[in-house]
Amino acid sequence: MIQKAKSYRSKYDAIVIGAGHNGLTCAAYLAKAGKKVLVLERRHLLGGAAVSEEVVPGFTFSVCSYVISLFRPHIIRELELAKHGLEILPLETSYSPHHDGPGLCRWADSEKSRREISRFSRKDAEKYPEFALDMQRVSMFARNIIDQKAPDPTSFNPSELWKLLKLGKQFRDFGPDFVHMHNKLLTMSSYDFLSEYFESDALKAPMSVSGIIGTFLGVRSPGSAYVLLHHYMGEIDGVFRSWGFAKGGTGALSNAIGRAAAAHGAEIHVNAGVEKINLKNGRATGVVLENGDEIAADCVVSGCDPFRTLFGFVGEDNLEPDFAEGLKQFRMRGSSGKVNMALSRLPTFKDGREGTAHLRGDIAIAPSVRYLEKAYDQAKYGEFSERPYLNIVIPSLVDPSVAPPGKHVMSCFVQYAPYHIKEGPSHWPKLRDKFAKTVIDTIEEFAPDIRDCIEHVQALTPWDLEQDYGLTEGNIFHGELSLEQLLFLRPTAGWAKYKTPIKGLWMCASGSHPGGGIMGAPGELAAKTMLRSAAV
């Protein structure tokens, strides 16, 4: 599907900068509507941060994102992604090892989970299904918000007000306690919110931590309960809170979307980095590549984050000062890193558990809330956590295609690794080895033979995420998912509907509503907005 010859049309309906999953989704929908679309990717392969790479021969790493859940099911249907090679294998477990004892594992089988949780608290085991039900209710409601454009509260437009009223009615339909629960989820910390249901630290720690992934929050920071929900909303085949691996790594998702886009006639070029966006009389007329080629288009859509798009490709000089000042306040602060490893064999966790069933999902190094909060405290003052939170997956257990027989891939998401360390972000490369060592030391406390299993380590600091994967400040969501940066405020007030102040320039990635998390929603909604406004 990737063009070999570097020959371009004289003019395209739309150029999409960046073949990340949102850019590709946007391109696919535009192409499906009959538009002549060109996708330009700087790197040598598709996916952006949703990418699979053979970093070590024989081993396929999901270098950045490593699980899928929130990808909108209707996009999978509408783009026929299964036909184009997408297969999602559900994660079967969520395991949290402890320093002593078998730790806690939650299973797809609710009876097994109940027995495990009862070891720590009977009351919690009873409450667990109730919590799941409450989250599902809110998820059903929140789903509506994700799949639509953000409402604009400043508008006097009757259709906007009508949308708000309809939203209000939906609130009412969920019962008298619903608004309050919804408000609590938006404003409480994930730890406090969970404490209203549960008492045991062993359960609260791994549950609260999904509230802080990709954010600069601790589990006890107000606002983290929202991100808990954001991650709870994932659904696969109609089942909420189920996560999965894409067979072949996360890049398989991007490749499937790319194939769908190509099938509808989109052109996709790699090794074609964009230098800047051409402007004429304040209007985007096309792009200039790093190699000097100029390509014209009726409009340009950026699949990169807002800073890269507007300060990078457009340039601050071409922006109104007020807009630029406002956009600069959009917070990007990356807080995570990634360590991927090729393993010669499975490490042995000292939990006394039989077999490997409990390792086939995600493994959370989150032994206690105190551990997690201390990890966060360090980040506040510009250090990476000495004992970080790790979210580990070993996809080769479920998808043997990603490693040679008997060998394994281990992917570790690491928090906290603040982009803005106290020595300054450019100091990160000097800390890379120490960072990798910290991660391996942490794993060693739970799997003492890890070092014997390692064939290769790839460590990505927030600096690397920025330099190599185009994520400004290493922020995996193209901008923090805090309340003041969502909905009509994302990425900045007044520009939440995928348009930018530059005529003909649109944004379609995670820096726009509804945000990050491999949803595909920004890409789809941007395309549909563009088509409806006849911009393309």
Partner 1 sequence: MASNPNTAQNSKHKVDCVVLGSEPMGLAAAVLLAQKNKKVVVLEHSDTIGGIHGSWKIGGTSQPGLPVPMHGVTRAELLSLGFGKDSLQWDQKIGDAPTEFCGEDKSIPYFLYNSDTQAAMTGEWSKEMVQSFEQFCTFISECSPFIQRLASGKLPNTRNLNLNFIWSVATKAARLRFMGKDKMMELLRSLPMPQADLLSDHFGSLADANILKGGLSAASLGGHFLAPHSPGTSANLLLWLCRRQHGFGFGSTELVSALEKRLTDLGGTIVKAGKLQSIVSSNHLATEVQTSAGSWKASNFISTLDTKKTLLKGVGSRNMDFGTAQETKNMRMRGCSAVVGLELNTALSPKFSDRFIGKHIVFAPSQEYVEKAFDPVKYGEFAKNPVLEFTLGPDQKSVSLRVHSVPYELDEKWSDETRQQLLQAVTKTLSRFTSYQDSHLVSSVVMDPQTLESRFGLSEGQIFHGEMGLDQMIARPIVQHTDQSSPLKNLFLGGAGCHPGGMFQLRAVNEAVRQIK
Binding site for partner 1 (CB under 8 A): 153-154, 168, 171-172, 176-177, 179-180, 183-184, 186-188, 192, 196, 217, 220-223, 329, 331, 370, 373-374, 377, 380-381, 482-484, 488-489, 493-494
**Block residue for tokens 């509503």:** 513
**341 burial type by CB count under 10 A (0-12 exposed, 13-18 middle, 19+ buried):** buried
- Residue 183 or 426 having the CB closest to partner 1: 183
343 and 453 Cβ atoms separated by less than 8 Å: yes
Distance, CA of 450 to chain centre:
27
Query: Considering beta carbons, is residue 114 or 184 the nearer one to partner 1?
Result: 184
Q: What stretches of 45-155 adopt beta strand conformation (E)?
A: 52-56, 59-62, 88-90, 93-96, 104-107
Token look-up 């929603």 returns: 521
Nearer to partner 1, 132 or 493 (CB): 493
CA–CA dist 23, 304 (Å, integer)? 8
Minimum CB–partner distance for residue 188 and partner 1 (Å) = 5
What is the phi/psi pair of residue 268, to 5°?
Answer: -125, 125
C-alpha 153/C-alpha 106 separation (Å) is 41
Tokens of 532: 């409806």
- Minimum Å gap between C-beta 374 and partner 1 is 8
B/e letters for 369-398, b = 16+ CB within 10 Å, e = fewer, are bebbbebbebbeeebbbebbbbbbbbbbbb
Give 140 or 454: the residue with its C-beta nearer to partner 1: 140
Looking at the Cβ atoms of 370 and 430, the one nearer to partner 1 is 370
Structure tokens at 252: 């398989």
Which is nearer to partner 1, 322 or 354 (by Cβ)?
322
DSSP codes of every residue in 224-263 = HHHHHHHHHT-EETTEET--EEETT-THHHHHHHHHHHHH
Kindly tell me which of 4 and 180 has the beta carbon lying closer to partner 1. Answer: 180
CB of 485 to partner 1, least distance (A): 8
Supply the minimum distance, in Å, between the C-beta of residue 324 and partner 1: 14
**Cβ 493 to partner 1, closest distance in Å?**
4
In the bound complex, what is the minimum distance in angstroms from residue 125's beta carbon to partner 1?
19
Distance of closest approach, residue 178 Cβ to partner 1, in angstroms: 9
